[in-house]
Amino acid sequence: MKQLIVASTNKGKIKEIKAILKDINIEVLAMNEVLDQEIDIEENGKTFKENALIKAKTIADIINKPVLADDSGLEVDALNKQPGIYSARFLGHDTSYEIKNQYIIDAVKDKDKSARFVCAMALVIPNHEPILIEETMEGLINDKIEGENGFGYDPIFYFPPCKMTSAMMSMEEKNQHSHRAKALKRLYAILKEVI
């Protein structure tokens, strides 16, 4: 079976990717399942796409196999699209998402609550041009932290069509509407052709 290595150790992210790509005859593995050393990738790009490509190329150069990387985050319009590409490091590397989420809720109180999740994906296959895709999920910042099913900013991201936060959605609902699901669905057809 052909393998697709995901340049991530985020269990929530890996689970979503495996669920969406389950119908393709490809084994999806996290990078720590194939690498015997810790790789510290410096995400110094200026956009989600640049960071995704940096991650995918770094791992692909080491293992010489197809590598998928995503860079995703939350853009809040009232905060000049912050946290943006710094979503994971927002308010400091070791700050819990409970603190980050409450900070954002407080920061947009009485302001425009429009926000979006952005997901950029880079697929790097040896001897092919890199493939870059970007998708969004439009929503609002919720008034409170709600839901148990997500990770990161999911508990404060309210998705109007489903009338709930991303963290309240089932995996099926998430895989229908999320920024990552949309990007992966576009990649699905490409993966069937090129891997």
Cite the active site residues.
71
- State residue 133 phi and psi, 5-degree precision: -135, 145
Domain that holds residue 153: 2-194
Residues 26 and 6 sit within 8 Å (Cβ to Cβ): no
Q: What is the CATH number of the domain that holds 148?
A: 3.90.950.10
For all residues of the chain together, what is the average pLDDT? Answer: 92
Is 42 flagged in the annotation as binding?
A: yes
The reply to whether the predicted model has a pTM over 0.85 is yes
- The string of pLDDT tens digits covering residues 28-74 is 999 999 888 788 888 899 999 999 999 999 999 999 999 999 999 99
The reply to whether omega before 83 is within 30° of 0 (cis) is yes
Cα 121 from Cα 195, distance rounded (Å): 16
Is 154 flagged in the annotation as binding?
A: yes
Task: Give burial (CB, 10 Å; 0-12/13-18/19+) of 114.
Answer: middle
- The string of pLDDT tens digits covering residues 144-193 is 999 998 889 999 999 999 999 999 999 889 888 999 889 988 888 888 77
What total number of domains does the chain contain?
Answer: 1
- The string of pLDDT tens digits covering residues 64-86 is 999 999 999 999 999 999 999 99
Output the pLDDT for position 161.
Answer: 97
Is 33 flagged in the annotation as binding?
A: no
Is 2 flagged in the annotation as binding?
A: no
Tokens 């697709």 locate to: 4
**Triad 3, 181, 144: Cα angle to 5°:** 130
Residues 63 and 35 sit within 8 Å (Cβ to Cβ): yes
